Amino acid sequence: MFEPRLALASLSGRSDAAWAETGERFAGAALLGGVALDEPTREAARKMVDRDRVEFLPDDPVAFADRQLAALADADLRAGVNVRSASLPPIRAVARICADRDAVLELNAHCRQAEMCAAGAGESLLGNPDRLAEQVAAATGEGADVSVKVRAEVPGVDLAKVARVVADAGADAVHVDAMDSESVVADVADAADLFVVANNEVRDEASVREYLAYGADAVSVGRPSDDPAVLRRVRSAVDGWFAERGRDGVAGNGRADRGERERREVPR
């Protein structure tokens, strides 16, 4: 999906093309956004701004996504855009743009802000995987490569089941915010044939090796994605891991098999 196996993770209201360019020399991918696409999610974003959160609220969010991706047409990384929507037509519109620009469309089933969940987007989709599958199918139907951003530690949600559902719907990747449950990456990696990107507190060699040992194909950096020192450490660790194992890792797709994970002491 991208090389090197380090992505810059979307940060609401901050992750635009200029932000991606600052990390271009370190990363293989940059996920812009998140962008609220339809009126329910845009109204939610406006309410979030009213309580001092930062959001992208352009007049035309689909055109905004297109402009931002166009600005990265010559960048030495694969661009993508993280989107939030309660309806399918704007997802299809952005998916067409992503397909034309060889960009990744990332569906946001991650945002836990109450307003976004009440709008029927973000984390609420984890509790309704059939709706999430509809979004995946809508995007893949337009020819886009699709990632789904998910969050661990949501009560009543089995991320392995979610991974299987979105894989069956045609998703290519799952982007896992592991929270404080790093081993959930292994459950997701074993559940479905998806490219797994692990996120949360990726800062150094120890955190990189932990996630890759659990079966991630790549890692992403969120809040410190504009810190060259962090990105340099993470990129060095990613390169070192795959140099030791080859690009396909120990058991294919960059993953150690479960037996190896159980035998290895995972660094912390």
Tell whether 104 is covered by a domain.
yes
Tell whether 184 is covered by a domain.
yes
CA 224, 228, 229 angle in degrees (round to 5)? Answer: 90
0.95 surpassed by pTM? no
Which among 147, 159, 267 has a CA at the least distance from the CA of 214? 267
For residue 191, what is the enclosing H or E element? helix 184-191
Tell whether 1 is covered by a domain.
no
Question: What is the spatial distance between Cα 123 and Cα 112, in angstroms, rounded to a whole number?
Answer: 5
Q: Report residue 110 CA to chain centroid gap.
A: 9
The total number of structural domains in the chain stands at 1
Tell whether 80 is covered by a domain.
yes
In tens digits, the chain (268 residues) has pLDDT values of 999 999 999 999 999 999 999 999 999 999 999 999 999 999 999 999 999 999 999 999 999 999 999 999 999 999 999 999 999 999 999 999 999 999 999 999 999 999 999 999 999 999 999 999 999 999 999 999 999 999 999 999 999 999 999 999 999 999 999 999 999 999 999 999 999 999 999 999 999 999 999 999 999 999 999 999 999 999 999 999 999 987 665 433 444 444 344 333 333 2
CA 145, 150, 239 angle in degrees (round to 5)? Answer: 65
Contact 123, 117 (CB under 8 A): yes
Question: What is the spatial distance between Cα 60 and Cα 230, in angstroms, rounded to a whole number?
Answer: 34
Tell whether 192 is covered by a domain.
yes
The parent domain of residue 66 ranges over 6-263
CA 97, 99, 101 angle in degrees (round to 5)? Answer: 70
Q: Supply the CATH number for residue 206's domain.
A: 3.20.20.70
Tell whether 268 is covered by a domain.
no
Tell whether 171 is covered by a domain.
yes
Tell whether 54 is covered by a domain.
yes
Which among 255, 268, 238, 249 has a CA at the least distance from the CA of 6? 238
Does the bond joining 4 to the residue before it have cis omega, within 30 degrees of 0?
yes
